[in-house]
C-alpha cells in the first residue's frame, strides 16, 4: 500500500471469528472502547459489520494511530470514531462505554498494563457491561499447544515482562475489579475469547 494503512495477515484470519463472539455477547447498539487497536483493521471490520456499535479505537503509538485514521478515512464509517492516544497505565477515559475490547494485548505488554486495563474496565463499565479479551492464554497454568509454548519463550526473550498469561490469574485479577468471567470461547490458532461481565 502507498498510504499509512498497516496490514496484518493474522487480523485477516481472525477478525470474522472474533466478530461472531462479539455479536453473541454485545447488544446490537453499544458504545465500545477498543484498547490497543494496532493497525485499526479490527475496528474497521467490526464497525462496518455492526452499524449500531459506536466504536472508539485507541492506541498509545502515533504510528498505529496514523494507520487507524487512514483505515477510518478509507472506510468512511460514521460509527468509527477518531483514534484516542490512550495508555491505560496513565489514564482511563471518562466517557461512558458499554464494552471494553482488547485484542492481542496482554501477552505483548507488561502485566501492569493488564492490571490497568482490568481496573479501567471495572471503573468505567456500567453494571452488565462487557470486558472482551482475545489472545493466547495458559489454562491450568499449562500451555494449550506446543506452538504457544514456543511463542511464549520468544516473547519472554524479547522482553521478560511479556508472556502468555495464565487464565486463572486474569480471572482472579478481574474479580477484584468486579468483573465476572461469563464465557470462554476456543478460537482458531490456539487462542481464546474471554467475556467478562461487570457485576
CATH number of the domain where residue 156 is located: 3.40.50.150
What is the gyration radius of the CA atoms in the chain, in angstroms?
Answer: 16
Helix axes 41-49, 9-25, angle to 10 degrees: 40
CA dist list (Å): 22 to 50, 81, 147, 185: 10, 19, 26, 11
* Residue range 110-147, pLDDT digits in tens: 999 999 999 999 999 999 999 999 999 999 999 999 99
Residue 4 lies inside a defined structural domain of this protein: no
Structure-block grid coordinates of residue 81: 470514531
The strand pair at 137-138 and 99-103 is best described as unpaired
Q: What is the pLDDT of residues 24-35, one digit of tens each?
A: 999 999 999 999
pTM: 0.96
Question: What residue has cell string 501492569?
Answer: 112
Could you give the number of structural domains in the chain?
1
pLDDT digits (tens), the chain, 199 positions: 458 999 988 898 999 999 999 999 999 999 999 999 999 999 999 999 999 999 999 999 999 999 999 999 999 999 999 999 999 999 999 888 999 999 999 999 999 999 999 999 999 999 999 999 999 999 999 999 999 999 999 999 999 999 999 999 999 999 999 999 999 999 999 999 999 999 9
Residue 1 falls inside a structural domain: no
In a domain, 170, yes or no: yes
Judged on CB neighbours under 10 Å (0-12, 13-18, 19+), 157 is exposed
Q: Cβ distance 58 to 83 under 8 Å?
A: yes
- What's the domain range around 167? 9-198
Residue 124 counted as domain residue: yes
Reduce the secondary structure of the chain to three states and give it as a string: CCCCCCCCHHHHHHHHHHHHHHHHHCCCCEEEEEECCCCCHHHHHHHHHCCCEEEECECCCHHHHHHHHHHHHHHCCCCECCCECCCCCCCCCCCCCCEEEEECCHHHCCHHHHHHHHHHHHHHCCCCCEEEEEECEEECCECCCHHHHHHHHHHHHHCCCCCCEEHHHHHHHHHCCCEEEEEEEEEHHHEEEEEEEEC
CB 106 within 8 A of CB 113: yes
- Grid cell at residue 54: 459506536
Residue 179 near residue 121, CB atoms below 8 Å: yes
- In a domain, residue 134? The reply is yes
Amino acid at each position: 500500500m502507498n498510504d499509512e494503512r498497516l496490514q496484518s495477515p493474522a487480523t485477516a484470519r481472525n477478525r470474522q471469528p472474533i466478530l461472531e463472539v462479539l455479536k453473541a455477547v454485545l447488544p446490537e447498539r453499544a458504545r465500545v472502547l477498543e484498547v490497543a487497536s494496532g493497525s485499526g483493521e479490527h475496528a474497521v471490520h467490526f464497525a462496518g459489520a455492526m452499524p449500531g456499535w459506536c466504536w472508539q479505537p485507541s492506541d498509545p503509538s502515533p504510528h498505529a494511530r496514523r494507520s487507524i485514521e487512514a483505515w477510518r478515512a478509507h472506510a468512511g464509517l460514521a460509527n468509527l470514531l477518531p483514534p484516542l492516544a490512550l495508555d491505560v497505565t496513565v489514564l482511563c477515559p471518562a466517557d461512558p462505554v458499554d464494552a471494553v475490547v482488547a485484542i492481542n494485548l496482554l501477552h505483548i505488554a507488561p502485566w501492569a498494563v493488564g492490571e490497568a486495563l482490568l481496573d479501567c474496565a471495572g471503573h468505567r463499565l456500567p453494571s452488565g457491561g462487557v470486558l472482551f479479551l482475545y489472545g493466547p492464554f495458559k489454562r491450568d497454568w499449562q500451555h494449550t499447544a506446543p506452538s504457544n509454548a514456543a511463542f511464549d519463550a520468544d516473547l519472554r526473550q524479547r522482553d521478560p515482562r511479556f508472556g502468555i498469561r495464565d487464565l486463572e490469574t486474569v480471572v482472579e485479577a478481574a474479580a477484584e475489579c468486579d468483573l465476572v468471567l461469563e464465557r470462554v470461547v476456543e478460537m482458531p490458532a490456539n487462542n481464546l475469547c474471554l467475556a467478562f461481565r461487570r457485576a
